[in-house]
């Protein structure tokens, strides 16, 4: 069983700075015959507070891994706090930490002292071979076009694939890469609605192209900027669902997505 708790669904500077939507990232739970694996992805500002105040709480001491798709603040603001929480303030060396090289080096967002608390550190590279956290295999995507080193993540667990497409500019290679992994569920960061500015983020129209090209059973939009929020992400998701003929959902703060049930419902309807 796979579930995802959205500890934050906001993106972009204004939404995060004013906490119009929270920015705590996503907490994945993979539960199977071999036990449970918990992975927290992109712990932005407030992640630790959002995790511990969720109902039921997301317990940092039970985390198996922390992952950064990239080092921008809205994805990494609480990474050091989360490392300390996962390792009992550094007293219990445990867990895994996966991030691109530039999150560790140069102008690091992961403090070197904190990185040492983690049992396994792994530098993400483009289209990596599977990295294993218990029974979960994690592969990275093609490098996103996004200023700093940025990779998407393809999680495979007991025959189900969940892909996370973080921030970045649209290019054709994105569709090819994500389609090649045939995700059952695709989470897409859709920061902007529509604009002429050439920024390093997907607009809603580009997200539509990606979702239409990848054709997951279920697509989830998240990481919204102001213009997306003004347009009502739920309404946009419903429109996209009708247009593309696949399940499309808009994430909201605190949402616990039962990914397995959503995927199975779509699969049953197709049979």
Residues of this chain that interact with Zn ion (CB under 5 A) are: 11, 72, 74, 167
Nearer to Zn ion, 14 or 113 (CB): 14
Closest CB 19 distance from Zn ion, rounded Å: 15
Query: Among 168, 169, 212, 207, which Cα is nearest to 190's?
Result: 207
Nearer to Zn ion, 65 or 103 (CB): 103
The closest residue (CB) to Zn ion is: 72
Q: What is the 3-state secondary structure (H, E, C) of the chain?
A: CEEEEEEECECCHHHHHCCCCCEEEEEEEEEECCEEEEEEECCCCCHHHHHHHCCCCCCHHHCCEEECCCCCHHHHCCHHHHHHHHCCCCCCCEEEEEEEHHHHCCCCCCCHHHHCCEEEEEEECCCCCCEEECCEEEEEEEECECCCCCEEEEEEECCEEEEEECCCECCHHHHHHHHHCCCCEEEEECCECCCCCCCCCCEHHHHHHHHHHHCCCEEEEECECHHHHHCCHHHHHHHHHHHHCCEEEECCCCCEEEHHHHHHHHHHHHC
Q: Report the chain's C-alpha Rg in angstroms.
A: 17
Query: Among 120, 135, 136, 175, which Cα is nearest to 152's?
Result: 175
Closest CB 72 distance from Zn ion, rounded Å: 3
Closest CB 228 distance from Zn ion, rounded Å: 12
Query: Among 61, 64, 29, 38, which Cα is nearest to 48's?
Result: 61
Closest CB 257 distance from Zn ion, rounded Å: 19
Nearer to Zn ion, 95 or 152 (CB): 152
Nearer to Zn ion, 11 or 95 (CB): 11
Closest CB 200 distance from Zn ion, rounded Å: 7
Nearer to Zn ion, 72 or 143 (CB): 72
Nearer to Zn ion, 30 or 170 (CB): 170
Closest CB 81 distance from Zn ion, rounded Å: 18
Closest CB 24 distance from Zn ion, rounded Å: 13
Nearer to Zn ion, 66 or 167 (CB): 167
């Amino acid at each position: 069983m796979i579930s995802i708790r959205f500890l934050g669904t906001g993106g972009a500077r204004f939404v995060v700075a004013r906490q119009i939507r929270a920015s705590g990232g996503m907490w994945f739970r993979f539960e199977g015959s071999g036990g449970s694996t918990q992975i927290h992805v992109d712990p932005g500002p407030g992640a630790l507070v959002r995790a511990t105040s969720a109902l039921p709480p997301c317990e940092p001491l039970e985390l198996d891994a922390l992952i950064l798709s990239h080092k921008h603040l809205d994805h990494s603001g609480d990474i050091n706090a989360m490392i300390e929480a996962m390792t009992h303030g550094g007293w219990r060396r445990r867990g895994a930490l996966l991030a691109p090289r530039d999150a560790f080096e140069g102008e690091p967002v992961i403090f070197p002292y904190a990185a040492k608390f983690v049992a396994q550190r792994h530098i993400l590279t483009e289209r990596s071979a599977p990295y294993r956290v218990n029974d979960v295999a994690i592969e990275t995507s093609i490098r996103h076009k996004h200023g700093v080193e940025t990779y998407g993540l393809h999680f495979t667990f007991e025959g189900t694939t969940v892909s996370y497409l973080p921030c970045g500019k649209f290019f054709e290679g994105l569709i090819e890469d994500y389609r090649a992994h045939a995700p059952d569920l695709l989470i897409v960061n859709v920061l902007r609605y529509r604009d002429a500015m050439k920024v390093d983020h997907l607009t809603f129209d580009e997200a539509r192209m990606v979702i239409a090209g990848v054709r997951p059973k279920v697509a989830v939009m998240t990481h919204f900027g102001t213009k997306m929020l003004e347009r009502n992400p739920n309404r946009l998701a419903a429109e996209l669902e009708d247009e593309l003929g696949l399940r499309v959902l808009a994430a909201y703060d605190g949402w616990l997505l039962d990914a397995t049930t959503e995927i199975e419902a779509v699969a049953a309807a197709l049979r």
